[in-house]
Structure 1
């Protein structure tokens, strides 16, 4: 046997060993989603925190609300409706988004591989909650970034018999008050391709001082984040680009909705203007849709002076099943 053949066989054997070793570390199959006391398991095995505010003990809930938080938020942000809705017969569930401040993998905070991961997480969580409450209508409540996730996930589930019974888009991100020029957008997308994990604060990109941004009638973004343990200071270009793509696809997603839709909005919202919110609302083709304005509030409706009014309107809408 020639030296060349021997060398080739040795390399082939080494390659086979490395291949088998890599196979042993590959997932053997798709993860099985599961609700656990310490954290829920999503479609790909990712384990994330979640919270539950059950209806009164021993009573079957009239409905269930799954709440999805915003950028740099957490499931705990929904404590107010978690306190109020169970007394009205509604159970509330909320989970922490991957890539946000409660992600157990710290290096992944502020980053996301694809917005599709957020959507698949919501689908998986929704099916787990439905399984726990068979025959009970399940509604989605998305706040800010959560509104984008709910909107696009609901649009992708068109005509699915396990669709949510209705969706609530609170402080909907219908567009951005601060416009980004086409050239600047091109530069950002190019940078995201070349260096997707580069990080920037929202203030850096928008050219504003985040500490002065009003998020409630009494507090600024800076003051709010100073007392928020799950605050994230910066986000990857990849995550910001994924959010931008969702925004671009908003009109198409809105046109695909057929389930009842409730918009809860403020004309003082720092992200989207009233015209942008009204424009997105007009594109929703659901025969059952409603838009409510809260003129004394700002972006964080459930933390502002009208939170009791917001919650009362929400309960009335749930009672009517979106009518």
Structure 2
């Protein structure tokens, strides 16, 4: 899969590395802001394009995934490649939206590997869905996913809302944002959406298994998860080092909204604090 790197200054060794995992219909390039701001503070940033999203080299695979396990294996593989290139450097994961699910569940599966990653950041965490799907409707969707897994629907179709009215930043809607985004995907297969639903169902179990430092970066205005849902997932994390920060003037896309400088500064301070505790 394609990937990007924002390195520290030539001739210097990073004091830490952030592997960033983007969200649904996103791309590695979405992390340009922390890619600009973190390297001068000693943190290199790596990001890769998710399988099945808008930069997947296999165009017919965009909007589809065979199994969520592929996303988990991809993060595991990318982590090991970055680790090989940077021995002894603390590595953190930063997952945004769908990326937060991938980071959460992959980290929960690495419990036998101490301090690697050193910590994870769940930005705009998908802790649940504000728009609930009834048990019967979900049964129909899962049945349809079995019978016709590659049938495609837009997120607006499934939620019964106009995507042009979904606020993703304080100044833009989902429709407006995607109209100027080259890697936007108009529709997703039922099996991809079903796999995301299964990850959501497994959130509590994975959260309870986390022991590394965890940082939640969230907005009470997030269109996907309510404050109560985010607080609920945060409460299930058993790590002794966990923190939840709210950005009340922002919406879902924190790194593209009015408080992005504040988000990045809070992130850098958290990295400094938790990177210092690692034995190199």
Please give the secondary structure, in 2, of the residue aligned with 1:264: strand
Report the Cα distance in structure 2 between the residues aligned to 1:218 and 1:69, rounded to whole angstroms.
21
Query: When the two structures are superposed, what TM-score results if normalisation uses the length of structure 1?
Result: 0.85
Deviation digits for residues 120-175 of structure 1 (CA, Å, limit 9, x no counterpart) = 00000001101111000000000000000000000011131362000000000000
Mean Cα displacement is larger for which, 292-301 or 157-166? Answer: 157-166
Could you say if the C-alpha distance between residues 130 and 163 of structure 1 is closer, same or farther in structure 2, counting changes exceeding 3 Å? same
Report the Cα distance in structure 2 between the residues aligned to 1:120 and 1:133, rounded to whole angstroms.
20
Report the Cα distance in structure 2 between the residues aligned to 1:158 and 1:275, rounded to whole angstroms.
28
Query: Are the aligned partners of 2:204 and 2:236 in contact in 1 as well (CA < 8 Å)?
Result: yes
Task: Work out the number of aligned pairs and report it.
Answer: 276
Give the structure 2 partner of residue 80 of structure 1.
Answer: 33
Deviation digits for residues 6-64 of structure 1 (CA, Å, limit 9, x no counterpart) = xxxxxxxxxxxxxxxxxxxxxxxxxxxxxxxxxxxxxxxxxx11000001111000000
Give the structure 1 partner of residue 212 of structure 2.
Answer: 259
Please give the secondary structure, in 1, of the residue aligned with 2:4: strand
Please give the secondary structure, in 1, of the residue aligned with 2:65: coil
Runs of at least 5 residues in structure 2 that lack an aligned partner in the other structure: none
Give the structure 1 partner of residue 71 of structure 2.
Answer: 118
Mean Cα displacement is larger for which, 288-297 or 151-160? Answer: 151-160
Query: Are the aligned partners of 2:153 and 2:188 in contact in 1 as well (CA < 8 Å)?
Result: yes
Report the Cα distance in structure 1 between the residues aligned to 2:146 and 2:107, rounded to whole angstroms.
28
Report the Cα distance in structure 1 between the residues aligned to 2:165 and 2:8, rounded to whole angstroms.
39
Please give the secondary structure, in 2, of the residue aligned with 1:321: helix
Report the Cα distance in structure 2 between the residues aligned to 1:164 and 1:120, rounded to whole angstroms.
15
Report the Cα distance in structure 2 between the residues aligned to 1:109 and 1:267, rounded to whole angstroms.
30
Deviation digits for residues 206-252 of structure 1 (CA, Å, limit 9, x no counterpart) = 00001110000000001100000000000000000000000000000
Report the Cα distance in structure 2 between the residues aligned to 1:125 and 1:249, rounded to whole angstroms.
23
Using CA pairs below 8 Å that are at least 6 residues apart, which structure has the higher relative contact order?
2
Report the Cα distance in structure 2 between the residues aligned to 1:232 and 1:163, rounded to whole angstroms.
33
- 1:150 correspondence with 2:103: yes
Please give the secondary structure, in 1, of the residue aligned with 2:88: coil
Report the Cα distance in structure 1 between the residues aligned to 2:112 and 2:154, rounded to whole angstroms.
39
Report the Cα distance in structure 1 between the residues aligned to 2:108 and 2:163, rounded to whole angstroms.
32
Give the structure 2 partner of residue 191 of structure 1.
Answer: 144
Report the Cα distance in structure 1 between the residues aligned to 2:61 and 2:113, rounded to whole angstroms.
32
Give the structure 2 partner of residue 179 of structure 1.
Answer: 132
Runs of at least 5 residues in structure 1 that lack an aligned partner in the other structure: 1-47
Report the Cα distance in structure 1 between the residues aligned to 2:251 and 2:173, rounded to whole angstroms.
10
Please give the secondary structure, in 1, of the residue aligned with 2:274: coil
Report the Cα distance in structure 2 between the residues aligned to 1:57 and 1:265, rounded to whole angstroms.
34
Report the Cα distance in structure 1 between the residues aligned to 2:260 and 2:115, rounded to whole angstroms.
30
Report the Cα distance in structure 2 between the residues aligned to 1:269 and 1:110, rounded to whole angstroms.
23
Please give the secondary structure, in 2, of the residue aligned with 1:320: helix
